[in-house]
Structure 1
């Protein structure tokens, strides 16, 4: 079963962005100031120059850990999704990131993760207090995107948790309605692509079981679905599963999270499993017509929860990030 990172309450995307009460105050030039080296293979997605990995590199260089800092560039120089904080107005972070991406002619990648009754009360529990609160939150999220180019992964685990029964039946109708409304609202932004999450191949092993729930949740109005968010299933396994689910959904496209799947899964372990490595670097060159992109949706180095010595879910864990970088197959 997948478990998700808690949304970053403070992403440190840009200090000015977090402190803004309105995106109208964002200084685009300041936001785009320090730019990471542009990897040749990642021509379309935006790299956050003030990510936790980038800040860790600066700290380690000051401390003389130059070899570790060099390894961590394998994370810092790649585009990874931003998870705007569910507890706060997501607008300032989104506006800052899209402003920077727009200046570079790139696409910013986001995760919308605030559905009520999130994660069945487990490591990433939380979310909006009720349906109306969620509608207000997703409205702010969408408005902040404007007409900039953006890719949004919508509510990781939300559909799969209905299929596996973890989300109680009395909440399922409301959840499907909220997801469907969220797709429609986000698609009102002309530059936004939306991918509704569909879990991973090891979780709902028969993709046919996802078809009707995904349809009720609005996948037909979305650009497609996402797979393997925060999980470790290999590219080959996930692509095969995705192609089948795409066919069952009438040709819907999909994206895959490859942030930590370089060594595949550790059987029976989903929470900070040791020995994992970075997977395929973000790219739209997938070799499969229905697979739109390999993405780093989970931020490498963000903890899955308080297991294997890790901090709370979503908190930056530099030593785990270093292990992922050291074991990278990319």
Structure 2
């Protein structure tokens, strides 16, 4: 059965990059709970906890307020700093952000972390390749995962929500024809299973990245995708702190748009998941059949505006985008635990500089914002665009 390979390849190359490594002054706030936190991953923890507005993204936004080209946006821009978002630990060095980020997390908040440093990371990408080479799985385990585990164990009074390795397992479903993904496959499976097993702590809830409706939502990909994730879950010993999946990470898909954004495309009949609500429902059913927990969190950080992309596969700095729904547990769907902001809005997906080593052609496409800097680097003009196009408005 035909499906959009360009969509799969493109989203496999999603530029999912972390905030800059700058360490900022630490605010003084009440930290953690009075006793150890125990999260029941059989329940929706977002009903109790609020996603923490981590200090790194807060400082980026506060700096952006001082650089606004339109001073009338100042009041709205300041409000973005108060929105909860995930902290990306995309390198071994960036684990150094974790301790400072813990210093202002109150008991009622949950700190979101993205675990993202597999060997041969983003095997179909250019803009977001990682630091570890294929085969460096031992280094991933001992110098990356184990160090994060040590820190989380040292902070039992704080709640954590983890997104596990964006783009990894979905790549193995749709891009197995690429040599780079073939070479990375064993490390991806081993690494994800190891991360799930070691991070299975009482104060942690985990969601494995499952791409989105324009990637694993194709009819031919739903069952294989669910089976790939379930295998990693079972290889880890079916850890009880795994709640399910994360979808639309750094993505643009609408939550409940009908008809879907690409419903009129020539190959639309091969993808019934034209929005993330449908995808969470259908993929969730396949996960249940495969023997894995199937609840989801959905990234709504930049998906306020539809009809901007020329095709599903256009992932890089989509022009005309806006900040989407704020983090909330009120999703209207039992399988969807929460809308969250995983990708820090304002940080680039990849550079539009064609001479750069990490230039990806998707960042030069007609529907991509230009100019744009390297992945993870702040783009002031893009931030202002997201602010102006936010729905709901700030």
- What is the TM-score of this pair, normalised by structure 1? 0.85
Deviation at 1:7, TM superposition (A): 2.5
Tell me the SS of whatever aligns to 2:283.
helix
Rounded Cα–Cα distance in structure 2 between residues aligned with 1:139 and 1:109 = 18
CA root-mean-square deviation:
2.4
Rounded Cα–Cα distance in structure 2 between residues aligned with 1:170 and 1:76 = 40
The answer to whether the aligner puts 1:75 opposite 2:86 as a matched pair is no
Aligned runs of 1:80-99 on 2, under 5 Å? Answer: 80-88=85-93, 90=95, 92-99=96-103
5+ unaligned residues in a row in structure 2: which ranges? 1-9, 32-46, 257-274, 353-369
Deviation at 1:100, TM superposition (A): 1.4
Q: Is the 8 A contact 1:75 1:300 kept in 2?
A: no
Q: What per-residue deviation string (whole Å, max 9, x for no partner) do you get for residues 246-298 of structure 1? A: 11111511110000100135223321111111111111111211111101000
Aligned runs of 1:184-199 on 2, under 5 Å? Answer: 184-187=197-200, 189-199=201-211
**Alignment equivalent of 1:111, drawn from 109, 114, 120:** 114
Rounded Cα–Cα distance in structure 1 between residues aligned with 2:335 and 2:102 = 26
Rounded Cα–Cα distance in structure 1 between residues aligned with 2:110 and 2:208 = 18
Tell me the SS of whatever aligns to 1:51.
helix
Deviation at 1:178, TM superposition (A): 1.1
Tell me the SS of whatever aligns to 2:63.
helix
Rounded Cα–Cα distance in structure 2 between residues aligned with 1:198 and 1:145 = 24
Q: Which residue of 2 aligns with 1:200?
A: 212
Deviation at 1:4, TM superposition (A): 2.5
The answer to whether the aligner puts 1:134 opposite 2:134 as a matched pair is no
Q: Is the 8 A contact 2:21 2:97 kept in 1?
A: no
Q: Judging changes above 3 Å, is the alpha-carbon distance between structure 1 residues 97 and 31 closer, same or farther for their aligned structure 2 residues?
A: farther
Deviation at 1:9, TM superposition (A): 4.2
Aligned runs of 1:21-170 on 2, under 5 Å? Answer: 29=28, 44-49=50-55, 50-57=58-65, 59-60=66-67, 65-88=70-93, 90=95, 92-101=96-105, 103-120=106-123, 121-129=125-133, 130-136=136-142, 137-146=144-153, 147=156, 148-165=158-175, 166=178, 167-170=180-183
Rounded Cα–Cα distance in structure 1 between residues aligned with 2:49 and 2:231 = 34
Deviation at 1:96, TM superposition (A): 2.2
The answer to whether the aligner puts 1:275 opposite 2:317 as a matched pair is no
User: Greater CA deviation, 157-166 or 309-318?
Assistant: 157-166
Q: What per-residue deviation string (whole Å, max 9, x for no partner) do you get for residues 123-157 of structure 1? A: 00114341011102011122222322010101100
Rounded Cα–Cα distance in structure 2 between residues aligned with 1:115 and 1:293 = 26
Greater radius of gyration (CA): 2
The answer to whether the aligner puts 1:211 opposite 2:226 as a matched pair is yes
Rounded Cα–Cα distance in structure 2 between residues aligned with 1:218 and 1:141 = 19
Rounded Cα–Cα distance in structure 1 between residues aligned with 2:112 and 2:163 = 8
Q: Is the 8 A contact 2:16 2:349 kept in 1?
A: yes
Aligned runs of 1:174-253 on 2, under 5 Å? Answer: 174-187=187-200, 189-204=201-216, 205-206=218-219, 207-218=222-233, 220-221=238-239, 222-236=242-256, 237-250=275-288, 252-253=294-295
Q: Judging changes above 3 Å, is the alpha-carbon distance between structure 1 residues 4 and 145 closer, same or farther for their aligned structure 2 residues?
A: farther
Q: Is the 8 A contact 2:171 2:181 kept in 1?
A: no
Q: Is the 8 A contact 1:199 1:228 kept in 2?
A: yes
Q: What per-residue deviation string (whole Å, max 9, x for no partner) do you get for residues 171-222 of structure 1? A: 31231111011011111x2111111101111122232220111012227532
Count residues in correspondence. Answer: 304
Rounded Cα–Cα distance in structure 2 between residues aligned with 1:232 and 1:42 = 27
Rounded Cα–Cα distance in structure 2 between residues aligned with 1:247 and 1:186 = 25
Rounded Cα–Cα distance in structure 2 between residues aligned with 1:45 and 1:233 = 21
5+ unaligned residues in a row in structure 1: which ranges? 17-27, 33-40
- What is the TM-score of this pair, normalised by structure 2? 0.72
